[in-house]
Structure 1
Amino acid sequence: MLSALSRLLPRTRWSTFFVTPATLLWWHRELVARKWTYPQRRPGRPPIRAEIRALVLRLAWENPTWGHRRVQGELLRLGYRDAASTVWTILTAAGVDPAPRRDGPTWTKFLTTQAKGMLACDFLHVDTIGLTRIYVLFLMEIGHPASSHSRRHEASDRGVGHSAGPEPDVGSRRPSRPVQVLDPRP
């Protein structure tokens, strides 16, 4: 509110305000922190019991072809409800390979062959001035450098009423010039 009211005064009179813009931002950060702070827990994971550690190492030593997920499955059958990541941590700390090498493509080869169908994503949130939280899911296709979104902008650059014949198939040609996307801000 204070920053909105400051627009009504000439810039030379802004020195009459008792707070700076940095103070306003600090107040907002404090409001957000108070609204979204949850009860504190002790940091870190609980320690791994010695009997679980010994059992995991014994199962891995007696069955060298088992990976960490198979060992974790056997622990479940025995009544121990520990995560596969716990088994992975135990085996890695002991110098045992948590996932024994098997015949097949390497991870790099697998990613290279699957790149056309892969998506990268991110999930984030933004807190507004009214303490409303907006959630954002961001997706990006990895395998195609020219997305269909940029092709749409290129097609619209030709203008309305273009009568040079039927529309060519956009997926079968490369752009002849860089696509210009206009800034939507006023």
Structure 2
Amino acid sequence: MAIGRKRREPEVDPFYDMLFNILIAFVFCFIIALLAMNPVAMKTGDIPSKAEFIITVSWPDLNPNDLDTWVQDPAGNLVWFRQREAGLMHLDRDDRGSVGESLLVNGKEVINPLNQEVVTIRGFAPGEYSVNVQYYETRNREPVEATISVIKVNPKADVVFYGTVQLPAKGVERTAVRFTVDSNGAVADINTLPKKIVENL
């Protein structure tokens, strides 16, 4: 009976074994690094908020007259067209009525009919905020009705105020709304009591 020859196991070089272990460690570290660079917010689709409150002032489409929005925070900071950033407030859009409202689209001039100014409050300091509207410039000497909305954005959109003010003539200033914010961002004491905040230009 023939005796089968035992197969000899190939020798394992300890150098190659060490290289293989280093490669596994490198791949593991690379995966950990990738996970660390990918924030949870991106995985869940969350978008970081950029505002706590959005204040919008609008007036009739194609109205040629220029209204201005003024917002004052609890510290007395004012945001308006010549001071677009103050404290945590920012004037995102300054509308001048019919001035600068034409756009060039495919070689044709198109008029943007929308009259709207937008102020965002990108955080909040406790205290009272005042929103005033001024009839800055007239081109037809007619009265203008402005619509004002204040929306609290976080944690969900909530309409704090929605109303209108009548501006009978150039230079007139009207208080649209005043509201108080506490340290947690809760809104209280919403009123329309007059308060002059427009500075002499």
Give the TM-score taking structure 1 as reference length: 0.21
Counting strand residues as a fraction of each chain, which structure ranks higher? 2
Higher relative CO (Cα under 8 Å, sequence separation at least 6) belongs to 2
Counting helix residues as a fraction of each chain, which structure ranks higher? 1
Give the TM-score taking structure 2 as reference length: 0.20
